[in-house]
Structure 1
Amino acid sequence: MRMKMTGIRALNTPWLDAFTDAHAGIYTFSHCITMADINGDGDYKLIIADLGTGSSNIRLKVRDQSLETDVFYEFLQNLRQEIGFNNLTERSQQLLILDHSKRKEFVEEQKNLPPKKQTVITCVSTLKKSMTDEDAISCIVFGTESGEIYILESEAFVILQKVQLEGGEVHSPAPAHIACSGLYDVEFRIVCLCRDGTLRLLRRGWQQTRTLTELTAPAVGLLLMPDGSSSIIVALMDSALHCFSKKGRRQWKLQMEKNITAIGSVHLPQQGLCLVAVALSGGLIKLYSGQQLVDTIATPDTVAALRFGRFGQEENSLVLITVAGCLMVKILKRTANFVTQTTTDGFVPGQQVKVPIPKKTRLFVEQTMRERQCYKEIHQAFQHDLFRLHLTAARACVQALQSCSLPVSSKEPLKLTAQVLGLGPKFRLAITLQNMSKDVPLKGLFIVVHCDDKMYIVERPFIEVPMLVPSLTYKFDTIVECVSDLSISDEVRVFVVKQQQTEPLLSVVIEMPVCDMLAMTS
C-alpha cells in the first residue's frame, strides 16, 4: 500500500501526523485491523481486512430433491421441532419462511445443489495460551453466525473448545463483538456481545456462557480493559458509553453529543494509563481515562475504524480509517502528558455524578426524633463534657510545668532527650542536650541523674555541661549498673539544673528495662 509522508505540524497536541493516504479506498471496522510482526524482525506491519463495497451471492441449500415440495416442507417442519431452526441449512431455513406459492419454484432452482450447512465468522479475537509475553503463542477465538464460540489452537489448528450459545426456541443469538483476557491454560475470560442485546461471559471450565446484562440499544463496540480493573466498556448506538464490572453491574455512563462510530483502547503502560478512544460522527475522537476527558483529536472526516499499537518501530501509533476510505497514522509524542480537561462549567465529568445517598434506616429516624425532642439536654451535656476536657488538659499542663517533666523547658530554650542502651547489668545512659535559641548561648548548666540507690548505681550522677552554642547538639553518657538481685526494674530521672536556681529547668523519666539475670550470674 502506497503512503506518503506529511509535514509534521508543531501544534499543541500530543499526536504527530505521520502518514496520510486519502485514496486508500479501505472499508473496514476496528476489529478487522491489527499490527503484527509478520517477519519476526521487530518491524510491525499493518494488517487490514478490507470488506470492499460489493455484495456476495449467498447460496442456499435443501436436504433432498426426490420428495414432493409439500411433503418435503412437512418433513422440514418436523425436523425443525426436533433439532431446532438454527441447526438447519440456510436453504432449509429460507424454504420454511417462504410463501406457499414460491416454494415449488425455490425447490426447482436449488434441488441440484449438494446439501451443505455453512456458517460465517462474525467476530474474532486472540487469547494468550500459556504465557503473557508479547511474542507468546496465542489461540484464535471467534464467534459464528450459528451462535457458536470456538477456541482454536493456532499451530495445529485444533479446536480446543466449542461453546454453543443458549437462545430461544427459534435460534441461538450470534455474537457480534468479542473480547478476551487472561491465559487459556491458567484462567481466561471471554466477553461477547450478541445481536439479541445480551452481554455474555465465558470462563475457563464453563460449558455454557452466562448472561451478565441486557443492553438497551444495539452495540457499536466492545472493550475489555487490560489494566487489571476487569472493566467492560460498551458503546451503543444511542450515543452512550457504558462501563460494566466483571459481574455485569453498570459503574458509569457517558452520554455523547453525537453518534459513536468506533471505539478502541489506548494502553500506555509506561504512564500507567489505559485510555478509551471514542470516535464520533463528524470527525471527532475523544480519549477518556475512566469518566474524565483527557484529549481530543480532530479529523477531516468521520472515523469508521481505529486501532492503537506498535506500527513499524514506533511503540505508540494510532491508525485511523474514515468512512470515505482514507487511511491516517498518528504517532504519540514521547513527551505526551494527558491532563484531565474540564467542561464549560469548570467541573470534570466525574464531579458531576451525583453521589448515591444511602437509605434512611429506622435507627437513624429514631435518633433524629430524639435529637429534636431533647435538643436542650443534649447541648448542655455536650458543653459540660467539653468544659471538663478543657479543665483536665489545663491541670495536666500546669502539673507538667511545675514538675519540670517536659522534654522542652519553658524557662530556657533547651531540649533534653535520654536513651538507655544495653541488656544489663550495666546500662549506658545516652543524654542529648540542644540549645533551641537562635543567637543566645547557654552556660552554667548541670545534669543530675537520680535513682534508687538500692536498685542502681550511677557512675557519673553529676555532669557539668559546657557552654551550649545555639543550634548544636551535645551528647553526654554515663554508666548505670543494676545491683538488685530481683528481676524488677525502676525509674531513673534525669534533671537539667542551672547554677543558683532551686528548681530544675526540665527533666525526663526513664523506665529502665529488666536486667538480664543470665548476664548477672555470669
Structure 2
Amino acid sequence: MCFGDIHADGELKLVVAHLGTSSKDMKLKVFKGGNLMTENTLIDLPTGVVSFYMDQNMPRTPAIAVASGPHIFVYKNMRPYFKFTLPVLEVNAVEEDLWRQAREEKIDIGVLHEMIEELRQQGMELTPRSIKFLTLDPREMEAFAQIHKYGALKRQTVITCIATLNKSMAEDDAISCLVIGTEANLIYVLDPEAFTILATMRVPSVPVFMSVNGLFDVEFRIIVTCRNGTIYTLKRGMDSVSSGIELNSQPLAMSRVGKHMIVGCMDNTLRSYTTKGKKHWSIKLQSDITAVGVMDHKQQGFKATVIGLADKTVCIYRDKFLINKFTTPDVVKAILFGRFGREDGSLVMVMKGGGLLVKILKRTATFEDKGIQKGGPPPVQTLKLDVPKKTKLFVDQTIREREHGIVMHRQFMHDLQRLRLNAAKTYAESLMKSENPISNSHTEPLKLNAVVNGIGPTFKLKINLQNTSQSDPVIDMCIGFSYESSLYNIHRKHILCPMLVPGVMYTFETLVDCISDKGISDTIKVFVLKRDKSIPLISANINMPVSEPALVA
C-alpha cells in the first residue's frame, strides 16, 4: 500500500493492492479517510504498489504502478494507462533442442521427460512449460506435449518487489524511476516516461525487500534483502554484487532510518546495521515480528521504527529504545506512516482479519528525549580529569622513545620471540619426558591426579587415574615412584593397575612415612608406565609438606 495525491487536490489517498483469495477478487482499492472511493480489478496477484510522478504536466498528478506477475500496470487518475512487461529471459539451448526433437518426433515422450528431469537435477533454469510437464501424471504427458510442442519456448520471470528512485531532483513531486526486483535475481531501473530499462543489476539471490535513496542521474544506493538471508548494497555503475551482510536468521521486513538499516528477523530480533555492514545494535522482542514500518515526521525532525508483533502489540523504537507501545484489536500485518488526507502524522495499519486502523498524531505533539538513555559513554566520562603537569622525567622519556623508537621496538620483538622460543622448548621437553598429567598417546589416553592427605609423619598419598578414551580400555598399566630414600619411605612402591574402563576414575592409595627429623620436605614423582616399557606415559610431581614431629605418648 502507498499514499498518493491521485486527484491533485492536496489530499492524499490510501491506495491498497488487495490480494483477495490469492486466485480471484484481486482489487486495487482507493480509500479517502475510512471510506472506499474506487476499486479496480487486477488480473493477477499483486506483489507491490507505489506512487510516482512520471511527467512534469500540470496539475501534478502522480501515477500508480502495480507489480503483478511479469507485468507492471500503470494507472493515471485511477484509469489504466500503460502496461510494461519484463523482458523475456534466454532459454536453455539443450531444453529448446529437446522440444524441437519432440516436435520432429525424433524422441518419444518418455525420453523427453527423462532428459528434462536430468536438466532440472543439474540446476538448469527451465521454462514454465517444462516445469508443468514434469509435474504431470504419465497419462497426461502425451496430450500435453502434443498441444504445446509446436509453440515457441519462453522463459518469463516475475516481479518480487518494487520501489521508486528520484531521477534528477530530490523534491517530493520530482520525476521518479521505478526499481523492480525479479525472481531471476535481477534488479531493473525503468525510465518513467518511455518505460525503457535504464540499468540492470544482478544479485546472488532473489530480492524480497528493497530500500532506495539518492538520485539516479547523480548517485544512488539500493539496499536489497534477498531470500538467502543476506543484505546487499548496489551503487551507481555497478552491474553485480557478490558480498553482503549475512544475517543469522531469515529477514521478515527491512526499513531504512537515517543512515542505518533496521531488519526484523524470524528469531524475534530487531537489528540495526550501517550501510557499510557494521552491526550497530540488536534487541530481542517479546513476540514474533509481523510488520516493520518507518515513522518519519519531517516537520518535527523525528524518525523512529514502528514494529507490529504477533501478540497484537505495536511498539515504537527510536534507535534501540522503546518510546511507546499500544495494543490493537487484531494482529497488524502492514504498517505505513505518512500524510493521509491533510494530516501529516497518520499511522495506517492493516489487520490480519482485513480491518484497517488509522491513528493520527496530534499536531501539537512534541518529541523529547525525557527518560530515554542515549547510547555511547556515560555522562561521567565527560568530566575533566585533574591531570598533573608533565614532569621533566616524563618529557625526557618521551624524547627518548621518539628518538630510539625503532631500536626499542626491535629489542621488544627480540625478547618476545625469545620468550616464545623458551616456552616452546619447555613444552617440547615436557612432552619428551612425559611430565604432563595428561597423556598425549593415542593408544593409552590417560589422565593423572595425585593428592596428599595428612600432617605427618605418616601421609596418605591418593592417586586418581582415568582412561579418557571414548571406547577402548587400557591394560597392563602400573604406577611407580621416585623419591629421596633418606627422607621418605613408601609402603607400596609398585602398584599394578587393573583394566581401565573408559570414563571411570580409579583411585589408588599408599602410605608415605617421613623418616627424617630435620624438618625439611622434598618432591615425590609419580610415574604411570606400560608393562615392559621403561619410558613413562605420564608423570606428576608432588610437593610434600613439611612433616610435623611425631607425638610421643
TM-score, normalising length: structure 2: 0.51
C-alpha displacement of 1:257: 0.4
**Residues 291/103 of structure 1: CA separation in 2 closer, same or farther (3 Å cut):** same
Could you report, residue by residue, the CA deviation over 1:248-274 in whole angstroms, capped at 9, with x for unpaired residues? 111100110011100011112222221
- State the match for 1:183 in structure 2: 215
C-alpha displacement of 1:300: 1.1
**Distance (Å, rounded) in 2 between the aligned partners of 1:37 and 1:155:** 19
**Residues 242/73 of structure 1: CA separation in 2 closer, same or farther (3 Å cut):** same
**Residues 384/266 of structure 1: CA separation in 2 closer, same or farther (3 Å cut):** closer
- Please say if 1:213 is aligned against 2:242: no
**Distance (Å, rounded) in 2 between the aligned partners of 1:146 and 1:131:** 30
- Please say if 1:142 is aligned against 2:180: yes
**Distance (Å, rounded) in 2 between the aligned partners of 1:193 and 1:384:** 55
- Partner residue of 2:285 out of 242, 256, 261: 256
**1:64-463 alignment to 2 at 5 Å?**
64=99, 65-66=102-103, 67-73=107-113, 75-76=115-116, 85-86=124-125, 88-93=126-131, 95=133, 102=137, 105-106=140-141, 108-109=143-144, 111-113=146-148, 114=151, 115-166=153-204, 173-225=205-257, 227=258, 230-340=259-369, 348=373, 350=375
On the 8 A contact 2:292/2:335 being kept in 1, the answer is: yes
**Distance (Å, rounded) in 1 between the aligned partners of 2:137 and 2:248:** 37
**Distance (Å, rounded) in 1 between the aligned partners of 2:391 and 2:12:** 73
C-alpha displacement of 1:297: 2.7
On the 8 A contact 2:203/2:232 being kept in 1, the answer is: no
Could you report, residue by residue, the CA deviation over 1:174-226 in whole angstroms, capped at 9, with x for unpaired residues? 1111110111111111111111111111110001024321112221111122x
Query: What SS is found at the alignment partner of 1:335?
Result: coil
TM-score, normalising length: structure 1: 0.53
Percent sequence identity over aligned pairs: 37
Could you report, residue by residue, the CA deviation over 1:458-509 in whole angstroms, capped at 9, with x for unpaired residues? xxxxxxxxxxxxxxxxxxxxxxxxxxxxxxxxxxxxxxxxxxxxxxxxxxxx
Query: What SS is found at the alignment partner of 1:160?
Result: strand
C-alpha displacement of 1:38: 1.3
- State the match for 2:473 in structure 1: none
C-alpha displacement of 1:164: 2.7
**Distance (Å, rounded) in 1 between the aligned partners of 2:370 and 2:312:** 19
Could you report, residue by residue, the CA deviation over 1:276-328 in whole angstroms, capped at 9, with x for unpaired residues? 10111122111111111122132111110010111111122111110010011
C-alpha displacement of 1:76: 3.7
Number of equivalenced pairs: 307
C-alpha displacement of 1:337: 2.3
Gaps of 5+ in 2: 25-43, 46-68, 70-90, 379-387, 393-553
- State the match for 1:517 in structure 2: none
Instruction: Name the amino acid aligned to 2:124.
Output: F
**Residues 110/195 of structure 1: CA separation in 2 closer, same or farther (3 Å cut):** farther
Higher RCO (CA 8 Å, separation ≥ 6 residues): 1
Query: Cα RMSD between the aligned structures?
Result: 3.3
Gaps of 5+ in 1: 1-32, 167-172, 354-381, 387-522
Instruction: Name the amino acid aligned to 1:174.
Output: V
- State the match for 1:35 in structure 2: 3
**Distance (Å, rounded) in 1 between the aligned partners of 2:177 and 2:246:** 28
- Please say if 1:45 is aligned against 2:2: no
